[in-house]
Structure 1
Amino acid sequence: MPWLQIKIKTNPDQSEPYEDLLLSAGCAAVTFEDSEDQPIFEPDLGTTPLWKNTTITGLFSAEHDLEETLKYIKQGHEQLFPELPAPSIKAEILEDKDWEREWMDNYHPMQFGERLWVCPSWREPPQADAVNLMLDPGLAFGTGTHPTTALCLEWLDQNISNTNFLIDYGCGSGILGIAGLLLGAKRAIGVDIDPQALQATKDNLARNQLQDDSLHVYMPENTPPEKAEVLVANILAGPLVQLAPTLEALVSPGGKLCLSGLLSPQATEIINTYSEWFDLDPIAEKEGWIRVTGTKHS
């Protein structure tokens, strides 16, 4: 069925009261989005920062009485913020769609580097003789569409041949670890804090007709201490800095490191952190995101 959508432009101080107003008016869901272009890179744990100019959206059934709801919101504003002008409010009917089908129709095979293609599991690979990774991300992060994943896949295409052991730290859908196996790694492990990611990785391993024992998955606290010749971690800058001693310890001398999930302004902190143990390569950049790679000191 279609939905009625009410959008209110506000600020962080007013957002929570407006959320309460929309919920008490009978909306089914409330979302917040940036009204302009003010990125919030990595909020502190336990915090939910909002943008300076925030749009709050309430989703109602199409049969909801719009006129009464707008009157209710106006009265609520006058009680809560009598000294402030009324905010900008926009109402529209949202067409009902099968959003999963919409996403599936628009997710298409993509090439990374010279050899590797990532193909949705419901589509035929465009090159049958290429290295084709069949992927259904499920509820886990990692499809190849994000610049950080693309940067890692392109690097793997050039650097994984004849690798015995690969670690995909923060494996998500398993896309990087499985790509490594298909490109020539003998075995791999995937590590993630999300059990759904570990399950998605196992599902995608089977989808690519790889042996169960070629890639094992672990929660971080259960990660074996064995050192890898290649470690890839597509996470975020904050965790990558905090995890630096852990990740360094998992790479063998002369082994290779590939880090992403990073924005250009975060390069200096990552370089300063990891240069203690690694000879770092020039930074690769795509759409404002970067990849940091290097070789561990012998």
Structure 2
Amino acid sequence: MMQWEGIFEFVAVAETDSFTAAGKRLSISTAQVSRQVSQLENRLNTKLFYRTTRKVSLTEEGSVYYQHCRQVLDSLDEAERAISSLKDKPQGLIRMTAPVTYGENFVMPVVIDFMQQYRDIEVVCELTNRQLDLVEGGFDLAIRLGRLSNSSMMAKRLTNRSQYVCAAPSYIAQFGTPYTLSELSQHNCLIGNQSHWNFIDQGKSKAVKVHGSLSCSSGLSLLSAAIKGLGIVQLPGYYVNDAIEAGQLVVLLAPYQQPKEGIWALYPHNRHLSPKVRLLVDKLAQEL
């Protein structure tokens, strides 16, 4: 049994670059992580990490040892998944994260239906617009919108979204309609998390910097402001479709609308999807 002592702590530190983050991931104290790793180093008579006040990184010996330990732990995971797949009903905990509004309106209704279908499944879902670190946070799954930047994650496209530039008829009546991207500088643009709006111009992607009197991280608040005629907004279709259909908003700059973007299920590259997570991903893809 001594051969296993410190292995989980060592791998957690290697993958999070932090004793504190490793402790959070394993639900133990930082001191316990440090003690177990130190005992492992003493047993191996090898320094596994370079430690400074700011950074923890693997030594050459630590890197080699990590690759072997990771293979062993992956094999254990595979063994557990093999047993789980033999059971009639998937069970256990799924930890996931999703954006707030999209998660509330679209993801969680599917998750709840999934849990009604599989009563032995537990779900912990953190709805946040911050892009959390899946490995450090111990997440099995993340739902991400739009362009993906992190190549260390595995991704499955669930569905697509379109971005629309819109304004209320009352705003257009008072301030006019922009027909070119350059005219946006003359209008009050309601800004979300990004101060640039993305378009397609002559077949090429183009980011246009916009300015306005309201900047807010809530898409629903921007939608409300646009409907009331405060300014022009760029939002995904799931925010504005109903308002467009009801005539509360008018689509602008349609010739410059960018192609559909993906809505994705992400999971860490060093994990295979367990049967229960794969079932949930498949249901999300089907329903969304």
Decide: shared fold, TM above 0.5: no
TM-score, length-scaled by structure 2: 0.27
TM-score, length-scaled by structure 1: 0.27
RCO higher in structure (CA 8 A, sep ≥6): 2
Q: Which has the higher helix share?
A: 2
Q: Which has the higher strand share?
A: 1
